[in-house]
Chains A and B, each alone.
Chain A
Amino acid sequence: MRLEHLAVLNQERAARRAVLLVTDLASGQQRLVKGDDVAADPLADILADRLRLGKSGTVEQEGRSLFINVHVPPVRLVVIGAVHVSQALAELARTVGIDVIIIDPRTAFATSERFPSTRVIAAWPEEVLPDLNLDRFSALAVLTHDPKIDDPALIAGLRSACFYIGALGSRKTHAARCGRLAARQFSDDDLARIHAPIGLDIGAVSPAEIAVSILGEIILALRRKPTRAEATQSEPVG
């Protein structure tokens, strides 16, 4: 493996772009194909399939065994609200290999003292979410309980391709929230994307337990096999 391939691989992944490494298993020769260049590649159809499935594997091509290693971006969790639950959630998510970003406009909450070794942005969600590009490898957890902060984040999430949206709050709170979002022209299908009350029902009580239930729900959304209907609707990875 050439160092320059490794460098480009790491650089593309850091920029949250998909990349494929094609290896001729007999000779060990390799070439790198960026996600954007797949369509123009001699193996376009095969690579596009692999990219869509996000699945590495070996293919036979003109008598050669080619191993295609698909590198899709790491899963990222954007948390709205630098609250107590978020502190536990940031730690747990890091343990399972998820990148975490915390956003909260309240500067008393959004401090690096409260979130050592986590990226914290003290700003309004609507100011920063457009630049963060919530792609299909991103999850959004909305935890402030304050519609002023939560609603703009949910609007950005619903307009994005992120694979998970969760919102803290009781069923009553969520019904009121859905009413506000429906008034902003979001359909029932859109609103059904929001997991609320957030988290798996494991009877969580403490902030750390609630964080476990949220993380469990995110992993379920990420790893669950899509139904046939969902699979046929899925978009190719860009």
Chain B
Amino acid sequence: MLTTDDDILVHAETWKRSGKGVAVATVVDTWGSAPRPVGSQLVVDQDGNFLGSVSGGCVEGDVITEGLDIIEAGGSKLLEFGVADETAWRVGLSCGGKIRILVQRID
């Protein structure tokens, strides 16, 4: 199923109301070339089911892992991804941009 920014939040609400733990990730800042604009969102449930995107697929894996942690621990977390860090090759943005992503649990 192809989803748009407009209906992933509807799915997030449905998941939460069905008793699942859910986290929302939102792109809050981008620098340079970034594949998804500020405001783009990804939602993930406790089982790792996810909808939406925050990049061209480069960092989704890490964002989902952080989302699962947040579902456990609660609160919110600000993540930063870029290419400046040598160790970032695993989840770096191949496009050369930098993004900041807010991950929050739905309570």
Interface of chain A: mostly helix, strand, loop or mixed = mixed
Complex alpha-carbon distance, A8 and B105, angstroms: 17
B26 touches A69 (CB 8 A): yes
List CB contacts (< 8 Å) of B80-107 with chain A: 102, 104-107
In the assembled complex, the CB of B100 is this many whole angstroms from the nearest CB of chain A, namely: 8
Whether the Cβ atoms of B104 and A1 lie closer than 8 Å is yes
Q: Mark A38-73, 1 if CB is under 8 A from B, else 0.
A: 000000000000000001111000000001011000
B47 contacts A by Cβ under 8 Å:
no
C-alpha gap A122/B62 in the complex (Å) = 49
Q: What residues of A have a CB within 8 angstroms of the CB of B71 in the complex?
A: none
A184 to B24, CA, bound (A): 51
Q: Which of A24-47 contact B (CB under 8 A)?
A: 25, 28
Partner of A69, one of B6, B12, B39, B105: B39
Binding site for A on B (CB under 8 A): 2, 4-6, 9-10, 12-13, 16-17, 24, 26, 28-29, 37-39, 75-76, 78, 102, 104-107
CA distance A28 to B28 in the complex (A): 12
Assess whether B107 is in contact with A9, with CB atoms less than 8 Å apart: no
Query: What are 10 A-B contacts with C-beta separation under 8 Å?
Result: A1-B104, A1-B105, A1-B107, A3-B17, A3-B107, A6-B106, A28-B76, A56-B37, A56-B39, A95-B2
Bound state CA distance, A6 and B13, in angstroms?
A: 7
Chain A residues with CB under 8 Å of chain B are 1-3, 6-7, 9-10, 13, 23, 25, 28, 55-58, 67, 69-70, 74, 95, 97
B9: which A residues are within 8 A, CB to CB?
Answer: 6, 9-10, 13
| A28 to B23 Cα, complex, angstroms | 13
Interface of chain B: mostly helix, strand, loop or mixed: mixed
Q: Is the CB of A2 within 8 A of B107?
A: yes
Q: Which residue of A lies closest to B24 (CB)?
A: A1
Contact A56–B107 (Cβ < 8 Å): no
Q: Please give me the residue from chain A that is nearest to B5 by CB atom.
A: A97
Is B6 touching A1 in the complex (CB atoms < 8 A)?
Answer: no
Q: In the complex, which of the residues A2, A7, A57, A97 contacts B38, with contact meaning CB atoms closer than 8 Å? A: A57
Chain B residues, CB < 8 A from A28? 75-76, 102, 104
A25 near B78 (CB under 8 angstroms)? Answer: yes
Q: Within the assembled complex, what's the spacing in Å between the Cα atoms of A70 and B12?
A: 18
Question: B28 to chain A: which residues have CB within 8 Å?
Answer: 23, 25, 58, 67
Residue of A nearest to B39 (CB): A56
Bound: A9/B75 CA distance, A:
20
Query: Which residues of the other chain, A, contact B16 by a CB distance below 8 angstroms?
Result: 3, 6
Complex-state Cα separation, A28 to B26, whole angstroms: 12
Report B81 CB to chain A, min CB distance, Å.
16
CA distance A29 to B73 in the complex (A): 16
Q: CA of A97 to CA of B3 in the docked complex: distance in angstroms? A: 7
Which residue of chain B has the shortest Cβ distance to A75 in the bound complex?
B6
- How far, in whole Å, are A10 and B106 apart by their CA atoms in the complex? 14
List the B side residues contacting A55 at CB < 8 Å: 38-39
Residues A67 and B13 in contact, CB atoms below 8 Å apart:
no
Instruction: Provide the bound-state CA to CA distance between A58 and B104, in Å.
Output: 17
